[in-house]
Structure 1
Amino acid sequence: MHIALWVIAVLLAGAFLVAGFSKVMSTRAALAEKGLTYVEDFSDGSIKAIGWAEILGAIGVILPAFVGGLQWLVIVAAFALGVVMIGAVAVHSRRGEKYTTALVLGALAVFLGVGRIVFGF
């Protein structure tokens, strides 16, 4: 199970790093042109904040596992990413958009958090 949890953590970190950096490095108009039309509902600052939350969550599901005494931060980061994805599902469903990706990423994040509680590091 530890291997499966590490695979999930690496996949989540990769997905959230890409998503986070795209939000932080691009303008709201550029994101909308790429098909991320939900950005119309948020300010530039909110989009950047979501991006930074995703980047910090991505770092948080990997890095603390290697630092003695800070492994609990992996659990916190995983559940925090789950909360971010609950928000994403709510926004996309309200707009009538597909939210499958957000739902899967959120479920994987929560699974990682629960898995680290149950099986440790």
Structure 2
Amino acid sequence: MEKKNNKTLNIALWVAQVLLAAMFLMAGIMKATQPIEELSQSMTWVNDFSAGMVRFIGISELLGGIGLLLPALLRIKPIFTPLAALGLFIIMVLAFIYHISNAEYQALGINLILGAIAVFIAWGRYKKAPIQPKA
């Protein structure tokens, strides 16, 4: 029974990793490459930050998305997968705080959901179903 539970958890973690990576890869590419003027039309928070900070957030999200998948897929330094998840969780905590401070309560749901998925991945890949490195 334990083996089946572990397999189910492993599948759930892979699904979560792929979905969260896709979200952050798309968001990161957008923030890292689109002109700031275009971004500010769909993301009003962009106006509160310098262009450099918006690019930094985008690159951080991009690297976090890559970190959710590549180390685990390649089994090279797979400890980076839960660390990437923790990094993305921190980004979501900071986004949550920002949105609360600006009374943008409609944005909190997505921060909570993405943050919870990131914590699930970090917990699962660190404690319950870690990926073993190549021998």
* Structure-1-length-normalised TM-score: 0.94
Matches within 5 A, 1:1-121: 1-34=9-42, 36-97=43-104, 98=106, 99-119=108-128, 120-121=130-131
Aligned residue pairs: how many?
120
| C-alpha RMSD of the superposition | 1.1
Q: Which moved more, 1:109-118 or 1:51-60?
A: 109-118
Q: Which moved more, 1:1-10 or 1:25-34?
A: 25-34
- Provide the C-alpha distance between the structure 2 equivalents of 1:76 and 1:87, rounded to a whole number of angstroms: 17
Contiguous gaps of at least 5 residues in structure 1: none
Contiguous gaps of at least 5 residues in structure 2: 1-8
Report the 3-state secondary structure (helix = DSSP H, G, I; strand = E; otherwise coil) of the residue aligned with 1:71.
coil
| Identical aligned residues as a percent | 39
Structure 1's consecutive aligned runs of 4 or more residues displaced over 6 angstroms after TM superposition are none
- Provide the C-alpha distance between the structure 2 equivalents of 1:68 and 1:18, rounded to a whole number of angstroms: 24
* Structure-2-length-normalised TM-score: 0.85
